[in-house]
Amino acid sequence: MKYYYREQEITSKAEWKKAFCEAYNSNGEDKHWKDGRSGECLAEDFIGETPNGEESMKEMIHRFLGTNNISLDVAKIEFASVFDSHPRPRIQDLAIWGHADNNALFIGVEAKVDESFGSKSIAGQRQYVNSLTNTEADKRLDELVNDYLDGDEDGHGTLRYQLLYYLAGSFCEPKADIIFMPVIVYETRGKSFDDYSDSKGKTNKTAYKRFMTELGFVPMEQVVGGQIIMAYSKRVTAHGKEKDVYSCYIVK
């Protein structure tokens, strides 16, 4: 699998780091990059000294779909998934395109150590956008609620907005028939750098499970095992399209 940042091929962890810092407009500074945090852990997993990321993605697909006919072709770091007409696309930590049998796949990877799923709930996001002027953020939230929550904002207000944003950005990838949304938690590497909080990790795990459950994703216990500790699937209908969406919580 080849890695890119925009159109630039990435062939080493050093190049990944440089692209990551550029994506965060840090002018070459490392303030958004730290050993043992999610950006560095993701790079180490996929292009480091002993990479395992690509194989773990193939194992995930095999467990969900039951096929070994899998190819992962191209990956882009900090990829902007455009899912509506409003500014600010969803930024995928790592976006991967491939195939399983005759189906085109998209994998939107969300990398964590113990970083939270954002600071806002859906209700908090509503309060925030109502305070803004000269923006269409309220219209985006309206559309997300209608498309993915059946219009029931009150019933789902305590769920994490970042997870809703993650779902929308992944689902709308036009080159894919099947969508994967793996959350990869680098607990071991975080602990090795003395930079992992068990309490924050448990909070994230609970937030993910609640989001999947309340949106009607079906648990797939047969997929759980090894590094995959939760797995869900749902036939999602939005924007006039239907796609199978698979999501799992991977702890490494």
| Residue range 92-142, pLDDT digits in tens | 999 999 999 999 999 999 999 999 999 899 999 999 999 987 788 899 999
Residue 28 pLDDT grade (very low, low, confident, very high; cuts 50, 70, 90)? low
* CA dist., res. 126 & res. 71, Å (int): 40
Cβ-contact 53, 45 below 8 angstroms: yes
Structure confidence at residue 136 (pLDDT): 82
Residue 37 burial (CB count, 10 A): 21
Supply angle C-alpha 90, 173, 132, rounded to 5.
30
Which residue pairs, CB below 8 angstroms and at least 24 apart, start in 125-131?
125/161, 126/153, 126/157
Q: What is the mean pLDDT of the chain?
A: 94
For residue 26, pLDDT over 80 is answered with: no
Percent of the chain with pLDDT over 70: 98
| φ and ψ at residue 133, rounded to 5 degrees | -125, 155
Condensed to tens digits (0 to 9), the pLDDT of residues 55-83 reads: 999 999 999 999 999 999 999 999 999 99
Averaged pLDDT for residues 141-160:
96
Averaged pLDDT for residues 41-61:
97
Structure confidence at residue 198 (pLDDT): 97
For residue 48, pLDDT over 70 is answered with: yes
Put residue 9 in one of left, alpha, beta given phi > 0 → left and psi -120 to 50 → alpha: beta
For residue 245, pLDDT over 70 is answered with: yes
Structure confidence at residue 32 (pLDDT): 76
Structure confidence at residue 132 (pLDDT): 84
Structure confidence at residue 85 (pLDDT): 87
Provide the domain limits for residue 22: 2-251
Structure confidence at residue 29 (pLDDT): 58
* Tally of structural domains, the chain: 1
- What six digits make up the tokens of 221? 């216990």
Structure confidence at residue 64 (pLDDT): 98
